[in-house]
């Protein structure tokens, strides 16, 4: 994963679902920094991917509910 990548993740320090900047990766463990509080966390890559997919699906559902042609 590129170090300039930003992923949505629930910060274990501040509890906010916020963009997290990827700082590095080693053996499927990713170091991220929260854009809300600035704290760093270590996250397993599959956990980060799963959270991102759930968040993206929720966002699609919200956007679909706002589309008047979707009725």
Give the DSSP letter string of 5-62.
Answer: -EEEEE-TTT--EEEEEEEEEETTEEEEEETTT--EEEEEHHHHHHHHHHHHHHHHHH
User: How many C-beta atoms lie closer than 10 Å to residue 55's C-beta?
Assistant: 15
pLDDT of residue 68: 74
| pLDDT > 90 fraction of the chain, expressed in percent and rounded | 62
pLDDT of residue 38: 95
Size of the chain in residues: 71
pTM listed for this prediction: 0.76
Q: What is the mean pLDDT of residues 45-71?
A: 86
């Amino acid at each position: 994963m590129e170090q300039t990548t930003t992923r949505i993740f629930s910060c274990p320090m501040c509890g906010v679902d916020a963009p997290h900047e990827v700082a590095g990766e080693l053996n499927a463990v990713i170091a991220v920094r929260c854009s809300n509080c600035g704290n760093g966390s270590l996250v397993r890559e599959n956990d980060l991917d799963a959270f991102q997919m759930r968040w993206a699906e929720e966002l699609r559902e919200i956007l679909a509910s706002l589309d008047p042609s979707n009725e």
